[in-house]
């Protein structure tokens, strides 16, 4: 599973430009399930199990990662950009980027020696962001890039014993877990979606859920772990090493109470996600048609939405084990 995760993280796929990630996932799941790609680019999957499910269960993980989109080119060849997804400007300055997987660049940053006293105390605003690709003018820049092209912050996958450091752990951890579930034998039939455009408004999963029309859903995610120095206990959200985080509420969903309690009572290592912040594909999934009972299982990731997110292998394994427990319990009707 971790070799798959490595290859997923090292593949670029900003929102709306998930083709390379999608092709890689298809390579891994082909022959283990039935699959198709819908008009938006979601992969819709049916996994045949040993038994027919009492309830139709969908498992979702999103393929896209945060990035930048080129909106204009200046006369002197710099690229004006907008963020795609929630990104802190502080993690972007002077970072190396890759455009369309081919063109190298760097996000412009004013040298500290030239910052005034007041200017140095403030972060630049998003509208001041530019990418330097070394072009001498607009014409040369447009020979290499076009408006609407996507840039990804470079951050190569590496393992430091039990820790993984990489870009795009949100949500390639979820994709890796879901691929593993599909590639192994299943007790019960289930459906799955590898969805697009989560980071820009939970868009792809809306059509995927409508097509599948599940009774219940398990959303696999990466989430913020703020368990670092000087953060108060009640602000840490979740703790690395304590297992997958189970949400009771966020800014887009109040989660199914029965599923939430059953997960915590499973006997598997897991924890409550303590902060009512953010959101994920559950926000769209649970409102589909007449409603879908939903649970979100999130891998704790430090420094999320940056080039250097950090996750623990044991927490990713925990996500897989709890997802399988919930799948079998819901599909069999034992969890009702």
What domain range is 236 assigned to? 2-65+167-332
What's 95's domain CATH number? 2.40.30.40
- Taking the C-alpha atoms of residue 175 and residue 193, their distance in angstroms, rounded to an integer, is 10
Tell me which residue of 57, 15, 16, 63 sits closest to 43, measured CA to CA.
63
Our count of domains for the chain comes to 2
Report CA-CA distances (Å) from 167 to 261, 270, 297: 32, 24, 20
Q: Is the pLDDT confidence value at 246 over 70?
A: yes
Mapped onto helix, strand or coil, the DSSP state of residue 11 is coil
253 shares its domain with 204: yes
CA dist list (Å): 21 to 142, 172, 220, 223: 26, 9, 17, 20
H-assigned helices in 157-288 = 169-183, 204-212, 257-264, 282-285
Q: CA 320, 288, 20: angle at the middle one, nearest 5?
A: 55
User: Distance of alpha carbon 217 from its chain centroid, rounded?
Assistant: 17
Decide which of 128, 153, 178 is a domain's last residue.
153
Closest by CA position to 58, among listed 195, 219, 217: 217
Q: Collapsing DSSP states into helix, strand and coil, what is residue 317?
A: helix
Domain boundary among 153, 185, 206: 153
Q: Which helix (H) or strand (E) segment is 79 a member of? A: strand 79-84
| 59 and 72 part of one domain | no
Q: Can you give the pTM of this predicted structure?
A: 0.94
Each residue of 139-190: pLDDT tens digit?
A: 999 999 999 999 999 999 999 889 999 999 999 999 999 999 999 999 999 9
Per residue in 8-52, pLDDT (tens digit) is 999 999 999 999 999 999 999 999 999 999 999 999 999 999 999
Residue 124 to residue 111: CA distance in whole angstroms:
13
Is 53 in the same domain as 175? yes
57 and 181 share a domain?
A: yes
Q: Calculate the average pLDDT of the chain.
A: 94
Q: What residues contact residue 136 under an 8 Å CB cut-off, 6+ apart?
A: 76, 77
Structure tokens, 239: 């703790």
pLDDT in the model for residue 117: 60
pLDDT tens-digit map of 179-202: 999 999 999 999 999 999 999 999
291 shares a domain with 192 = yes
Residues 244 and 189 in one domain: yes
- The residues annotated with a catalytic role in the active site are 198
């Amino acid at each position: 599973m971790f070799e798959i995760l490595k290859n997923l993280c090292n593949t670029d796929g900003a929102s709306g430009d998930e083709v390379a990630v999608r092709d890689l996932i298809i390579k891994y799941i082909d022959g283990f399930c039935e699959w198709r790609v819908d008009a938006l680019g979601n992969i819709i999957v049916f996994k045949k199990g040993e038994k027919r499910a009492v309830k139709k269960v969908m498992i979702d993980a999103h393929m896209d990662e945060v990035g930048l989109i080129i909106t204009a080119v200046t006369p002197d060849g710099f690229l004006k950009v907008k963020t795609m997804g929630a990104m802190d400007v502080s993690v972007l300055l002077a970072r190396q980027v890759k455009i369309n997987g081919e063109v190298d660049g760097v996000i412009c940053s004013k040298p500290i020696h030239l910052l005034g006293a007041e200017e140095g105390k403030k972060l630049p605003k998003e509208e001041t962001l530019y990418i330097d690709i070394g072009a001498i003018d607009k014409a040369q820049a447009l020979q290499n890039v076009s408006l609407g092209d996507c840039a990804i912050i470079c951050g190569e996958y590496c393992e430091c014993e039990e820790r993984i450091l990489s870009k795009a752990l949100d949500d390639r951890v979820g994709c890796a877990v879901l691929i593993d579930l599909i590639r192994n034998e299943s007790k019960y039939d289930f459906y799955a979606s590898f969805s697009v455009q989560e980071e820009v408004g939970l868009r792809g999963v809306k059509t995927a859920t409508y097509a599948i029309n599940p009774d219940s859903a398990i959303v696999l995610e990466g989430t913020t772990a703020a368990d670092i120095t000087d953060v108060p206990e009640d602000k840490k959200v979740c703790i690395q090493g304590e297992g997958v985080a189970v949400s009771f509420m966020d800014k887009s969903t109040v989660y199914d109470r029965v599923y939430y309690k059953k997960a915590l009572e499973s006997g598997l290592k897991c924890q409550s996600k303590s902060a009512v912040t953010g959101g994920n594909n559950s926000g769209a999934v649970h409102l589909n048609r007449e409603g879908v009972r939903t649970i979100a299982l999130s891998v704790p990731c430090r420094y999320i939405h940056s080039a250097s997110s950090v996750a623990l292998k044991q927490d990713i394994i925990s996500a897989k084990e709890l997802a399988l427990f919930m799948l079998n319990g819901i599909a069999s009707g034992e969890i009702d």
